[in-house]
Amino acid sequence: MDDFYRDYILDHYRHPRNFGSLDRFDAQAEDLNPLCGDQIRMQLKLDDGVVSDVRFSGKGCAISQAAASMLTERIKGMKLSEIAKLSKDVVLEDVGIGISPTRMKCAMLGLRVLRSAAIGRIAGWPDEE
């Protein structure tokens, strides 16, 4: 697990990409992990049916915040239907090896919120599928 805290994870934690909020957005969701209180909100702006802009905000551990930050870098140009189908492997690929089972929910919170925004209701946990 200590292998996990690599430079790029800490960089995303301390300097999250696409962080903040949008004045106007077409889809939004937020949620928290009741186990630890980590929070994430995702806002999406669409143009011609694809994501043209994204912002996330939240607070929590390095894993939840870095995973959400990296996710926002992947989704510009995607359709909502494509976002709804993003699997946990996308996140695991981003964050790399070493996530322990006890911290899996931290890594998946951002994707869960993003998929909730895409489908307009609270999505399930990606790691429980």
Residue numbers at the binding site for another protein (CB under 8 A): 1-2, 4-5, 10, 14, 35-38, 59-63, 100, 102-103, 106
DSSP, residue by residue, 80-125: HHHHHT--HHHHHHHH-S---GGGHHHHHHHHHHHHHHHHTS----
Order the strands of the 27-32 sheet from edge to edge.
Answer: 27-32, 39-47, 50-59
- Cα 63 off chain centre by: 10
Q: Least distance in Å: CB of 86 to another protein? A: 24
Region class of 45: left (phi > 0), else alpha (psi between -120 and 50), else beta: beta
Q: Least distance in Å: CB of 41 to another protein? A: 15
Q: Least distance in Å: CB of 102 to another protein? A: 8
Nearer to another protein, 1 or 122 (CB): 1
The encoded tokens of residue 46 equal 């669409």
Nearer to another protein, 23 or 34 (CB): 34
Q: Least distance in Å: CB of 112 to another protein? A: 17
Nearer to another protein, 33 or 72 (CB): 33
What is the rounded distance in angstroms from the CA atom of residue 9 to the CA atom of residue 47? 30
Nearer to another protein, 4 or 125 (CB): 4
